[in-house]
């Protein structure tokens, strides 16, 4: 990939043919309209009185007024708050107050968007609806499971392209110095990094794997997971442009559960062993080229408690520290994004050894953008 390609990806990329989280199931009570912007597409979404979550273009076909500012009627139709046009569950306009007897134009229709409720989360496909079946939202079985405690932080609006967040999540060598004082650990930067790539449910993934034995834990990890010295497996996986999954597995030396002959992907904890750790799920939903929403879902086995405070679940202990970490990452991403406003003038990024997954993630983005541009050119030719 050339430097120009890298610059374009980190500045302008907005992959449309992907499932993106727009909220949790709890964010969609029955018959409450919600407005969203996903990959530059204005969306109105709600849960019907029958329990189904639906999504449509948020612009009334008449004067672009946001339908999310309207209201749902007794018969289930959606009424625009500006001129009263009403739309049925197919997106077709079925009533216009100023045309009580006249015909309704067939152009008076709003586009529906594919939407899926899965693992307690709501996923939307902003791209070509004909391709929505070619990929599935990544499975996140820990979220909301009775065996796990899930803490949700977000949504957090970040003024940067979402690929910059993905790159931040794939490479933890930034823990020191960016997070010095909380999760900062310079030893992280010295752990060898392996790369795994593949495809799952139509989504290409790139994952870093850090394996270390006889490792002395920093104090915050001793509090969370109790062990001072461990064998540790740590993976960071871009499951799709919409999800990065982080799994840490710790156990006393020599007692980490074997995964011989199995892929690391997607990874989780063995609840019936001495393993302690977490599954951190990061969802990143682009608003446009330089803004995105970030959710962090902290998942820890429900019976794991803080060492310092045995009455507090480890997930809750992590969640208390996490906002400070987020603010430091937000600072870095905001500053990075600002640098893209300047011409390169010969500047070129230098890649380091731990950047293997970052480079592969950029290739995946590049291929998805080219696929998207090919569709656009094909439609234009027709």
pLDDT at 1: 46
pLDDT at 8: 54
The matching CATH number, chosen from 1.20.1090.10, 3.40.50.300, 3.90.380.10, 3.90.45.10, for 148-363 is 3.90.380.10
Q: What digits encode the pLDDT tens for the residues 238-279?
A: 999 999 999 999 999 999 988 776 788 999 999 989 999 999
Give the rounded distance of the alpha carbon of 31 from its chain centre: 25
Reported pTM: 0.94
- Residue 79's alpha-carbon distances to 31, 104, 185, 248, in angstroms, are 13, 15, 54, 48
How far apart CA 159 and CA 169 sit, in angstroms, is 16
Token pair 């405070």: residue: 309
| Buried b / exposed e along 335-345 (16+ C-beta atoms within 10 A) | ebbeebeeeee
Secondary-structure class of domain 19-134 per CATH: mainly beta
Asked if 237 and 206 count as a contact pair (C-beta separation under 8 A), the reply is yes
pLDDT at 252: 97
Domain ranges of the chain: 19-134, 148-363
Q: What angle do CA 286, 288, 291 make, to 5 degrees?
A: 70
Q: What digits encode the pLDDT tens for the residues 344-361?
A: 899 999 999 899 999 999
Q: Which phi-psi region, left, alpha or beta, contains residue 202 (left: φ > 0; alpha: ψ -120 to 50)?
A: left
Q: What digits encode the pLDDT tens for the residues 16-65?
A: 999 999 999 999 999 999 999 999 999 999 999 999 999 999 999 999 99
- Of 118, 130, 134, 162, nearest to 15 (Cα)? 162
How does strand 243-251 pair with strand 229-240?
A: antiparallel
pLDDT at 326: 96
Token reading at 238: 């871009």
Asked if 281 and 148 count as a contact pair (C-beta separation under 8 A), the reply is no
Asked if 233 and 211 count as a contact pair (C-beta separation under 8 A), the reply is yes
pLDDT at 258: 81
Q: Which phi-psi region, left, alpha or beta, contains residue 163 (left: φ > 0; alpha: ψ -120 to 50)?
A: alpha
Token reading at 314: 């480890």
| Buried b / exposed e along 164-178 (16+ C-beta atoms within 10 A) | bbbbbbbbbbbbeeb
Topology agreement, domain 19-134 and domain 148-363: no
pLDDT at 345: 92
pLDDT at 374: 86
pLDDT at 185: 84
Low-confidence ranges of the chain (pLDDT < 50): 1-3, 379
DSSP 211-247: EEEEEEPPHHHHHHH--SEEEEEEEEEEEETTEEEEE
């Amino acid at each position: 990939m050339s430097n120009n390609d890298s610059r374009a990806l980190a500045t302008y990329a907005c992959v449309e043919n992907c499932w993106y989280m727009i909220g949790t199931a709890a964010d969609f009570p029955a018959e409450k309209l919600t407005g969203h912007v996903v990959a530059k597409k204005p969306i109105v979404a709600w849960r019907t009185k029958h329990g189904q979550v639906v999504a449509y273009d948020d612009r009334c076909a008449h004067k672009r007024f946001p339908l999310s500012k309207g209201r749902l009627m007794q018969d289930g139709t959606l009424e625009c708050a500006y001129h009263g046009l009403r739309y049925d569950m197919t997106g077709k306009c079925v009533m216009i107050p100023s045309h009580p007897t006249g015909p309704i134009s067939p152009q008076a229709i709003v586009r529906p968007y594919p939407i899926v409720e899965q693992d307690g989360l709501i996923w939307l496909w902003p791209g070509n609806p004909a391709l929505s079946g070619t990929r599935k939202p990544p499975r996140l079985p820990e979220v909301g499971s009775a065996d796990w405690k899930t803490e949700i932080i977000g949504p957090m609006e970040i003024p940067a392209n979402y690929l910059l967040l993905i790159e931040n999540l794939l490479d933890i060598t930034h823990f020191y110095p960016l997070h010095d004082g909380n999760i900062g650990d310079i030893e992280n930067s010295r752990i060898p990094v392996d790369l795994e790539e593949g495809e799952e449910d139509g989504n290409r993934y790139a994952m870093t794997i850090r394996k270390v034995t006889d490792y002395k834990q920093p104090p915050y990890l001793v509090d969370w997971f109790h062990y001072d010295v461990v064998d540790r497996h740590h993976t960071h996986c871009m499951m799709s442009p919409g999800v990065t999954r982080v799994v840490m597995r710790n156990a006393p030396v020599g007692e980490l559960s074997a995964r011989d002959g199995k892929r690391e992907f997607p990874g989780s904890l063995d609840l019936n062993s001495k393993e302690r750790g977490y599954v951190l799920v990061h969802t990143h939903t682009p608003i446009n080229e330089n803004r995105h929403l970030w959710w962090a879902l902290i998942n820890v086995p429900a019976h794991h408690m803080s060492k310092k405070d045995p009455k507090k679940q480890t997930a809750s202990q992590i969640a208390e520290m996490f906002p400070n970490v987020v603010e430091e990452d937000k600072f870095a991403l905001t500053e990075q994004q600002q640098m893209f406003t300047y011409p390169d003038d010969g500047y070129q990024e230098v890649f380091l050894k731990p950047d293997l997954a970052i480079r592969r993630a950029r290739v995946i983005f590049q291929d998805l953008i080219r696929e998207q541009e090919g569709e656009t050119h094909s439609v234009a030719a027709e």
